[in-house]
Chain A
Amino acid sequence: MTTRMREVYSDTLIRLAEKDRNIVVLEADLMAAHATKSFMEKFPERTFNVGVAEANMVGIACGLSARGKIPFAGSFAPFVTRRAYDQFFVSANYAKLNVKLMGSDPGITAAYNGGTHMPFEDVGIMRNVPGLIIYEPADGVSLQKLLTESAYRKGNVYLRLHRGNAPGIYNQNDEIKLGKANVLKDGNDVTLIASGVVMVNEALKASEMLQKEGVSAAVIDMHTIKPLDEEIVLKYAAKTSRIVTCENHQVMNGLGSAVAEVLSEKQPILMKRIGVNDEFGEVGDIEYLKERFGLTAKRICESARSLLVTA
C-alpha cells in the first residue's frame, strides 16, 4: 500500500502529542509541505512557525529542549543541515540536548526545485556530529515506528524524510528499531545495502532482475545510517563476499562511505557504491533524475555483475 509520508510524519506526531504534552513542532514556514498544518490545528499552542529562519528555528528548538520539551523541527533538508549546521552542532549537540531535526526532500526528490534545494551532502555533514542518530525510512510503517522510537530516545536525531508517496515495504507487526538494519530479502551471491524510499525500492527491483540471471542478491534496508549496524554488514560480508551500497546521496561521506569504513578496517571485501558522484543537483522529474545520476536498478545490477566477475 502506498502512503503519503508527510502525512505519516504529522499523524505520528499528533499521536505522540496526545500522550505527551512535551511534544512540540517547529517549522520554518513550510507546514504545507510537511502536512504539519494538521498538527497545528490540533495543538496550536505547541506549534511554532518561526518564519523563514532555519538557524533561528534550530536555536529556538534548543531553548525549548533545554526547558524539557521534545521539539520536532523541520524544513527542507539543505536548509536544516547546511544552513543551521552551527546551531545544531553547538547549541543542540555539544550541549547534549534532545532536538529532533527533520530535513525533507532528500537528494533527487527535490526534483523541480533544482540544485539549490537538492541535498546530496546532508547525511555526509551530519555524520560528523558526534553521537547523532541519522535515519532515513523507506516506507510509511518504518517512518511511523522509527519516528515514535526517536521521540522517546533521549538525544539529538536527524530524520531524512521523503515527504512524497512511498510504496509499502513493511507490515505493522514487523520489528523495526533504530540502529538495527532489516533484511528484506536474503541472498548468497551479493548483498545490496540501501537506504531511503528511492534506493531501497531500486535495490529490491535490482534483486529481482539479478534473480532472473541466477544471481542471488540479498537486500538490506539500512534505515539508520548512524550508528551503522556493523554486525549485519560484517555478517553479510562473510556470507556473500560482495556488497553494493545504494544511496540517494553523494557516494562520499554517506551510507557507502560508512559501510566502506567498517569493511576496510574489519573485513576487507570487494564493494561498489551506487550514488551521486561529486556533482550538484539539477532540475527535473524524479524518474529523469534517477537516470541522470545513475540511481537505478539497472546500475545496481551492473555493479553487482562487475563484482561477480572480478571475484
Chain B
Amino acid sequence: MLTKKQICDFEYLAVKIRADAVMMTNLQHSGHVGSSLSMADLLVVLFEKVLNVAPKNPKGPNRDRFILSKGHAAAGLYSIMAEKGFFPKDWLETYYCDNGKLCGHISHHVPGVEFSTGSLGHGLPVTVGMALDGKRKGKKHRVFCLMSDGDCNEGSTWEAIMLAAQHKLDNLVAIVDYNKVQALGFSKDVINLEPFAEKMNLFGWAVKEIDGHNFEQILDSLSIIPFVKGKPSFLIAHTVKGKGISCMENTVASHYKCVADDKLEDAYKELGV
C-alpha cells in the first residue's frame, strides 16, 4: 500500500517527467512526446520503488538491468534519470541540439543508460541475452524491458518471446506501455495485438494486466517478481498515448508532433506545473 504522501510524491514526479518531455520535444520541434507521456507513471514506480539501480554507481555489477526498447521515447526516460542524478539536469536542455548530450533515441553515451535503442524490436532480444547470462551465472539481478505496441510488430520481438519461455527466464520482466497507438495509426488497425494477454499466456509467459496510470496497481504488479516461478513475466500496462495533455491524448499525431509553441502554456497549466 502506498501512503497518501507517497502518491503525492509520485504524482509530482510524473508531472515533472511529462513537463520535461513537453519542453524537450519542443526544443527543436521534433521528437515523440506522446510516447513519453504514456509511460511516465510506469517510470516513476520503476525508478522509485522497483529497480535496483544506483546513480552514483551506474555500472555496479549487481544492478537490475533496464532497457527502454521504445527508444524513441527517450525524453521521458532522460527526465527521470536526470531527476535521480545519473547526469546533470541541464543536459535535458540539449536534447536534439547540435553537439547535444542527449540525442533523439536513447543512447548508451549517457551515464546510466543500459543500451542504445531506437530501431524497434531490439530491446527484448538484448534483455533475453542478459537474462540468460544472469541465469547461467546464478546472478540475483533482474532484467526489465519496457516496450511499445509498435515493438510487438517486430518479428525479432516474437523470436525473443519464444526463446525466453523456452529457457524459463523468470528473471526477465517485459512491460508493454500499451497505449494502442503506433507510428502510422491505431494498433488495432495496423497489427492488432489482441487477445494480447491470452496470446502471451499461450507463449508460456506469466501475464498481468493493469492500468498503467495507477501507481498502486503498477507497484502491486511489480512487487513480486517473477509473477510465476519458472516463467518470464509479462506486464500489459494499459495506457493512454499523450496522457495528461488533452490535445495529445489518444492521437496518432502525438507520436511525432511536439506541443506547439502557442499551446505550451496551456499544456503546462493542464499538467499542473
Which residues of A are at the interface with B, using a C-beta cutoff of 8 A? Answer: 27, 29-32, 49-53, 55-56, 78-79, 83, 112-117, 282-285, 288, 292
Quick one: which of A52, A56, A116 contacts B71, CB cutoff 8 A? A116
13 intermolecular pairs with C-beta atoms under 8 Å apart: A29-B153, A29-B184, A49-B184, A52-B153, A52-B154, A52-B182, A55-B155, A56-B155, A78-B119, A112-B96, A112-B104, A113-B103, A282-B103
Q: Is B182 a contact of A115 with CB atoms below 8 Å?
A: no
The residue of chain A having its C-beta at the shortest distance from the C-beta of B102 within the complex is A283
Q: Is A117 a contact of B182 with CB atoms below 8 Å?
A: no
Known: A29-B183, A51-B182, A53-B155. A79 touches B107 (CB 8 A): no
Known: A51-B190, A52-B154. A32 touches B256 (CB 8 A): yes
Other than the given A29-B153, A52-B182, 7 more pairs (CB < 8 A) read A32-B184, A49-B185, A52-B183, A53-B155, A115-B105, A116-B107, A285-B98
Bitwise interface map of B from 85 to 118 toward A, beta carbon under 8 Å scored 1, else 0:
0000000000011111011110100000000111
Looking at chain B's contact residues, is the secondary structure mostly helix, strand, loop, or mixed? loop
B191 at the interface (CB under 8 A from A): yes
Residues of A within 8 A of B96 (CB): 112, 283
B232 at the interface (CB under 8 A from A): no
Known: A53-B154, A115-B103, A284-B99. A30 touches B183 (CB 8 A): yes
Residues of B within 8 A of A56 (CB): 155
Number of A-B contacts (CB under 8 A): 89
Known: A32-B256, A112-B28, A285-B98. A51 touches B119 (CB 8 A): no
Residues of B within 8 A of A115 (CB): 103, 105, 107, 116
Separation of A113 and B183 alpha carbons in the complex (Å)? 15
Bitwise interface map of B from 115 to 137 toward A, beta carbon under 8 Å scored 1, else 0:
01111110000000000000000
B30 at the interface (CB under 8 A from A): yes
Bitwise interface map of B from 174 to 205 toward A, beta carbon under 8 Å scored 1, else 0:
00000000111100001100000000000000
Q: Is B153 a contact of A114 with CB atoms below 8 Å?
A: no
Which residues of B are at the interface with A, using a C-beta cutoff of 8 A? Answer: 28, 30-31, 71, 96-100, 102-105, 107, 116-121, 150-151, 153-156, 182-185, 190-191, 256
Residues of A within 8 A of B100 (CB): 283-284
Separation of A50 and B28 alpha carbons in the complex (Å)? 30
The residue of chain A having its C-beta at the shortest distance from the C-beta of B74 within the complex is A114
Residues of B within 8 A of A112 (CB): 28, 30-31, 96, 103-104
Separation of A79 and B121 alpha carbons in the complex (Å)? 11
Residue of A53, A78, A282 ringed by the most chain B CB atoms within 10 A: A53
Residues of B within 8 A of A52 (CB): 120-121, 150-151, 153-154, 182-183
Residues of A within 8 A of B98 (CB): 283-285, 288
Separation of A104 and B191 alpha carbons in the complex (Å)? 23
Report B32 CB to chain A, min CB distance, Å: 10
Residues of A within 8 A of B97 (CB): 283-284
Report A28 CB to chain B, min CB distance, Å: 8
Separation of A282 and B109 alpha carbons in the complex (Å)? 11
Report B266 CB to chain A, min CB distance, Å: 25
Q: Is B104 a contact of A283 with CB atoms below 8 Å?
A: yes
Known: A29-B150, A29-B184, A52-B182. A116 touches B99 (CB 8 A): no
